[in-house]
Chain A
Amino acid sequence: MSTMRDKFHDLGNCHSKISLASLTIKESLLGNDVATLSKKDLKELIDSSITILNKIETYVRDADKTVEDVKQFIYKKVGADALIPNIKSI
Protein backbone atom coordinates (compact mmCIF):
# COMPACT_ATOMS: atom_id res chain seq x y z
CA MET A 1 0.00 0.00 0.00
CA SER A 2 1.18 3.49 -0.80
CA THR A 3 0.04 6.91 0.27
CA MET A 4 -0.96 9.64 -2.18
CA ARG A 5 2.25 11.39 -1.12
CA ASP A 6 4.26 8.31 -2.19
CA LYS A 7 2.50 8.26 -5.55
CA PHE A 8 3.15 11.93 -6.26
CA HIS A 9 6.72 11.51 -5.04
CA ASP A 10 7.16 8.68 -7.58
CA LEU A 11 5.59 10.80 -10.29
CA GLY A 12 7.86 13.75 -9.48
CA ASN A 13 10.88 11.45 -9.62
CA CYS A 14 9.84 10.13 -13.05
CA HIS A 15 9.51 13.70 -14.31
CA SER A 16 12.91 14.68 -12.85
CA LYS A 17 14.62 11.60 -14.34
CA ILE A 18 13.15 12.24 -17.79
CA SER A 19 14.27 15.85 -17.65
CA LEU A 20 17.83 15.02 -16.53
CA ALA A 21 18.15 12.00 -18.85
CA SER A 22 17.14 14.10 -21.87
CA LEU A 23 19.69 16.72 -20.95
CA THR A 24 22.39 14.06 -20.54
CA ILE A 25 21.80 12.81 -24.09
CA LYS A 26 21.64 16.33 -25.50
CA GLU A 27 24.92 17.33 -23.85
CA SER A 28 26.76 14.20 -24.96
CA LEU A 29 25.60 14.68 -28.57
CA LEU A 30 26.27 18.41 -28.65
CA GLY A 31 29.55 18.03 -26.76
CA ASN A 32 31.05 15.79 -29.42
CA ASP A 33 31.87 16.70 -33.00
CA VAL A 34 30.34 13.52 -34.40
CA ALA A 35 31.82 14.11 -37.87
CA THR A 36 35.32 13.75 -36.49
CA LEU A 37 34.75 10.79 -34.16
CA SER A 38 36.33 7.41 -34.85
CA LYS A 39 33.95 4.52 -35.58
CA LYS A 40 34.64 3.11 -32.12
CA ASP A 41 33.91 6.40 -30.34
CA LEU A 42 30.83 6.96 -32.46
CA LYS A 43 29.53 3.50 -31.56
CA GLU A 44 30.12 4.21 -27.86
CA LEU A 45 28.25 7.52 -28.16
CA ILE A 46 25.31 5.86 -29.93
CA ASP A 47 25.24 2.96 -27.45
CA SER A 48 25.25 5.23 -24.41
CA SER A 49 22.54 7.44 -25.95
CA ILE A 50 20.36 4.40 -26.68
CA THR A 51 20.86 3.12 -23.13
CA ILE A 52 19.57 6.43 -21.78
CA LEU A 53 16.69 6.51 -24.29
CA ASN A 54 15.67 3.05 -23.08
CA LYS A 55 15.72 4.38 -19.53
CA ILE A 56 13.49 7.30 -20.58
CA GLU A 57 11.00 4.81 -22.06
CA THR A 58 10.96 2.99 -18.72
CA TYR A 59 10.43 6.22 -16.75
CA VAL A 60 7.51 7.15 -19.03
CA ARG A 61 5.93 3.72 -18.47
CA ASP A 62 6.47 4.07 -14.70
CA ALA A 63 4.84 7.52 -14.76
CA ASP A 64 1.87 6.19 -16.78
CA LYS A 65 1.37 3.39 -14.28
CA THR A 66 1.50 5.78 -11.32
CA VAL A 67 -0.99 8.16 -12.95
CA GLU A 68 -3.30 5.22 -13.66
CA ASP A 69 -3.14 4.11 -9.99
CA VAL A 70 -3.94 7.62 -8.77
CA LYS A 71 -6.69 7.99 -11.38
CA GLN A 72 -8.41 4.77 -10.32
CA PHE A 73 -8.23 5.78 -6.68
CA ILE A 74 -9.63 9.28 -7.27
CA TYR A 75 -12.39 8.01 -9.57
CA LYS A 76 -13.50 5.56 -6.89
CA LYS A 77 -13.43 8.24 -4.20
CA VAL A 78 -15.02 11.23 -5.94
CA GLY A 79 -16.16 9.96 -9.33
CA ALA A 80 -14.79 10.68 -12.78
CA ASP A 81 -17.17 13.59 -13.41
CA ALA A 82 -16.50 15.47 -10.18
CA LEU A 83 -15.86 19.14 -10.86
CA ILE A 84 -12.47 20.46 -9.78
CA PRO A 85 -12.77 23.86 -8.15
CA ASN A 86 -10.14 26.54 -8.47
CA ILE A 87 -7.44 25.22 -6.12
CA LYS A 88 -7.00 28.64 -4.47
CA SER A 89 -10.64 28.62 -3.36
CA ILE A 90 -10.35 25.30 -1.46
Chain B
Amino acid sequence: MKKKIGKGIKILILDDERDLCAFMKGFFIKRGFQVKTALTGQAAINLIKRATPNIAILDIYLCKGNKNGIDILKHIKKNKPGCHCVMISGHKEKYEQDSFQFGAEDFLVKPLTIQKLEKSINKMVYKIKKEEGAHG
Protein backbone atom coordinates (compact mmCIF):
# COMPACT_ATOMS: atom_id res chain seq x y z
CA MET B 1 0.00 0.00 0.00
CA LYS B 2 1.34 3.43 -1.01
CA LYS B 3 1.91 6.03 1.69
CA LYS B 4 -0.98 8.53 1.56
CA ILE B 5 1.18 11.63 1.27
CA GLY B 6 -1.64 13.55 -0.42
CA LYS B 7 -4.24 13.35 2.34
CA GLY B 8 -6.21 16.60 2.42
CA ILE B 9 -4.48 18.00 -0.68
CA LYS B 10 -6.46 18.89 -3.81
CA ILE B 11 -4.92 18.56 -7.25
CA LEU B 12 -6.23 19.95 -10.52
CA ILE B 13 -4.93 18.29 -13.70
CA LEU B 14 -5.30 20.12 -17.00
CA ASP B 15 -4.46 18.05 -20.07
CA ASP B 16 -6.31 17.66 -23.36
CA GLU B 17 -5.47 13.94 -23.44
CA ARG B 18 -8.30 12.10 -21.69
CA ASP B 19 -6.25 8.93 -21.03
CA LEU B 20 -3.32 10.89 -19.59
CA CYS B 21 -5.70 12.66 -17.22
CA ALA B 22 -7.20 9.30 -16.19
CA PHE B 23 -3.81 7.66 -15.51
CA MET B 24 -2.54 10.65 -13.55
CA LYS B 25 -5.79 10.80 -11.60
CA GLY B 26 -5.51 7.10 -10.65
CA PHE B 27 -1.88 7.57 -9.62
CA PHE B 28 -2.63 10.49 -7.31
CA ILE B 29 -5.85 9.04 -5.84
CA LYS B 30 -3.84 5.98 -4.74
CA ARG B 31 -1.60 8.38 -2.84
CA GLY B 32 -4.50 10.03 -1.03
CA PHE B 33 -4.94 13.20 -3.09
CA GLN B 34 -8.34 14.60 -4.11
CA VAL B 35 -8.18 14.99 -7.87
CA LYS B 36 -10.17 16.91 -10.47
CA THR B 37 -9.35 16.81 -14.18
CA ALA B 38 -10.05 19.24 -17.01
CA LEU B 39 -9.59 18.71 -20.75
CA THR B 40 -9.77 22.42 -21.67
CA GLY B 41 -8.65 25.69 -20.16
CA GLN B 42 -12.23 26.84 -19.72
CA ALA B 43 -13.15 23.64 -17.87
CA ALA B 44 -10.16 24.23 -15.57
CA ILE B 45 -11.34 27.80 -14.84
CA ASN B 46 -14.82 26.49 -14.01
CA LEU B 47 -13.37 23.94 -11.59
CA ILE B 48 -11.10 26.52 -9.95
CA LYS B 49 -14.14 28.75 -9.33
CA ARG B 50 -15.84 25.95 -7.38
CA ALA B 51 -12.88 24.77 -5.31
CA THR B 52 -9.34 26.02 -4.80
CA PRO B 53 -6.77 23.38 -5.65
CA ASN B 54 -3.55 23.23 -3.62
CA ILE B 55 -1.63 22.06 -6.68
CA ALA B 56 -2.37 22.52 -10.39
CA ILE B 57 -0.64 20.39 -13.03
CA LEU B 58 -1.01 22.34 -16.28
CA ASP B 59 -0.17 21.10 -19.75
CA ILE B 60 0.76 24.20 -21.75
CA TYR B 61 0.07 23.19 -25.33
CA LEU B 62 -3.63 22.33 -25.60
CA CYS B 63 -5.19 21.33 -28.93
CA LYS B 64 -8.72 21.91 -27.63
CA GLY B 65 -10.18 25.32 -26.72
CA ASN B 66 -8.70 28.79 -27.06
CA LYS B 67 -6.72 28.96 -23.81
CA ASN B 68 -3.35 27.38 -23.13
CA GLY B 69 -1.70 26.35 -19.88
CA ILE B 70 0.04 29.73 -19.48
CA ASP B 71 -3.37 31.50 -19.61
CA ILE B 72 -4.59 29.22 -16.83
CA LEU B 73 -1.41 29.79 -14.83
CA LYS B 74 -2.02 33.56 -15.00
CA HIS B 75 -5.67 33.07 -14.01
CA ILE B 76 -4.69 30.94 -11.01
CA LYS B 77 -1.97 33.29 -9.79
CA LYS B 78 -4.40 36.22 -10.02
CA ASN B 79 -7.39 34.54 -8.38
CA LYS B 80 -5.95 31.73 -6.24
CA PRO B 81 -2.37 32.78 -5.49
CA GLY B 82 -1.91 30.05 -2.87
CA CYS B 83 -2.15 27.32 -5.50
CA HIS B 84 1.18 25.75 -6.56
CA CYS B 85 1.48 25.31 -10.32
CA VAL B 86 3.51 22.68 -12.13
CA MET B 87 3.77 23.30 -15.86
CA ILE B 88 4.24 20.58 -18.48
CA SER B 89 5.51 21.16 -22.00
CA GLY B 90 7.66 19.64 -24.70
CA HIS B 91 9.03 23.08 -25.54
CA LYS B 92 11.29 24.12 -22.72
CA GLU B 93 13.02 26.89 -24.68
CA LYS B 94 9.67 28.46 -25.63
CA TYR B 95 7.72 28.26 -22.39
CA GLU B 96 10.01 27.72 -19.38
CA GLN B 97 10.93 31.37 -18.88
CA ASP B 98 7.31 32.56 -19.21
CA SER B 99 6.14 29.87 -16.79
CA PHE B 100 8.48 30.99 -14.02
CA GLN B 101 7.89 34.66 -14.83
CA PHE B 102 4.14 34.18 -14.29
CA GLY B 103 4.68 32.37 -11.01
CA ALA B 104 4.92 28.64 -11.75
CA GLU B 105 6.67 26.63 -9.07
CA ASP B 106 8.03 23.95 -11.41
CA PHE B 107 8.40 23.13 -15.10
CA LEU B 108 8.47 19.56 -16.42
CA VAL B 109 9.64 18.73 -19.92
CA LYS B 110 7.68 16.22 -21.97
CA PRO B 111 7.77 13.29 -22.47
CA LEU B 112 6.40 12.97 -18.98
CA THR B 113 7.59 10.13 -16.79
CA ILE B 114 6.10 9.21 -13.49
CA GLN B 115 9.47 9.76 -11.80
CA LYS B 116 9.54 13.41 -12.92
CA LEU B 117 5.94 13.96 -11.92
CA GLU B 118 6.24 12.27 -8.53
CA LYS B 119 9.42 14.17 -7.65
CA SER B 120 7.79 17.49 -8.51
CA ILE B 121 4.56 16.77 -6.63
CA ASN B 122 6.51 15.59 -3.56
CA LYS B 123 8.31 18.94 -3.64
CA MET B 124 4.94 20.78 -3.77
CA VAL B 125 3.55 18.68 -0.91
CA TYR B 126 6.61 19.52 1.17
CA LYS B 127 6.07 23.25 0.47
CA ILE B 128 2.35 23.03 1.35
CA LYS B 129 3.04 21.21 4.63
CA LYS B 130 5.73 23.75 5.49
CA GLU B 131 3.32 26.64 4.80
CA GLU B 132 0.62 24.97 6.90
CA GLY B 133 3.15 24.57 9.71
CA ALA B 134 4.12 28.24 9.45
CA HIS B 135 0.47 29.30 9.67
CA GLY B 136 -0.09 27.32 12.84
Identify the A interface with B (CB < 8 A).
5-6, 8-9, 12-13, 15-17, 19-21, 23-24, 27, 31, 55
Identify the B interface with A (CB < 8 A).
1-2, 17, 19-20, 23-24, 26-27, 30, 61, 63, 90-91, 110-114
The answer for the CA separation of A15 and B61 in the assembled complex, in Å, is: 16
B114 contacts A23, C-beta separation under 8 Å: yes
Total A-B residue pairs with C-beta atoms closer than 8 Å?
A: 53
The interface residues of chain A, by DSSP majority, are classed as helix
B112 contacts A27, C-beta separation under 8 Å: no
The interface residues of chain B, by DSSP majority, are classed as loop
**Which among B61, B63, B112 is the interface contact of A19 at CB below 8 angstroms?**
B112
Given A5-B91, A12-B90, A24-B27, residue A19 in contact with residue B19 (CB < 8 A): no
List, in ascending order, chain B residues with CB within 8 A of A27's CB.
Answer: 2, 27, 30
